[in-house]
């Protein structure tokens, strides 16, 4: 699973970091960034999916890169 966090959408509700603190870090004002590049380890998928579904502004989405090589 790979996710994207759109920080232009994030409104600082901080719920993602409650659910999946290993994946999301917060700044002093509660706005989130990804700790890594969005690749989610299988063991973390449950927590991250919960964060994705619970984000009030839908700033977290599952990411599928544009198809390449044709």
Partner 1 sequence: MTAVGVLPGGPARLVRPDGRVETLGAYRAGGGYRDLPAAAELLDLVEAAGLRGRGGAAFPAARKMRAVRAAGGRPVVLANGEEGEPASVKDRWLLRTRPHLVLDGVRHAAAAVGADLAYVYVSDPAAERAVAGAAAELTGLPFEPRVVRVGPAYVAGEETAAVRYVNGGPALPSDKPPRPYESGVAGRPTLVSNVETLANLPLLTGGPPGTFLLTLGGRVANPGLYELPFGTPMRTAIEALGGTTVRPAGYLMGGYFGGLLNARGGDLPLDYDALAAEGSGLGCGAVTVLGARDCPVHVAAEVMAYFDRSNAGQCGSCFNGTAAMSATLSALVAQTAADADLDRLRRWSATLRGRGACATLDGAAALAASLLREFPGAVRAHLDGSCPPCRTDSRIGRAAPFAVQVPGIPAELRRG
Q: How far is the CB of 20 from partner 1 (least distance, A)?
A: 17
For 40, residues 6+ apart whose C-beta sits below 8 A from its C-beta are 1, 2, 3, 23, 48
Stretch of 15-23, 29-37, 39-47, 48-56 lying at the interface with partner 1 (CB under 8 A):
29-37
**DSSP 8-state class, residue 65:** P
42 binds partner 1 (CB under 8 A): no
- For the chain, the first-to-last Cα distance in angstroms comes to 24
- Taking the complex as a whole, how short is the minimal distance between the CB of residue 24 and partner 1, in angstroms? 12
Minimal distance, residue 44 CB to partner 1, in Å: 19
């Amino acid at each position: 699973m790979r996710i994207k966090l759109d920080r232009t959408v994030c409104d600082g509700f901080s719920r993602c970091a409650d659910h999946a603190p290993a994946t999301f870090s917060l700044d002093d004002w509660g706005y989130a960034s990804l700790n890594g590049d969005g690749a989610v380890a299988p063991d973390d998928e449950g927590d991250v999916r919960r964060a994705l579904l619970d984000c009030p502004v839908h700033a977290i989405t599952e990411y599928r890169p544009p198809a390449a090589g044709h």
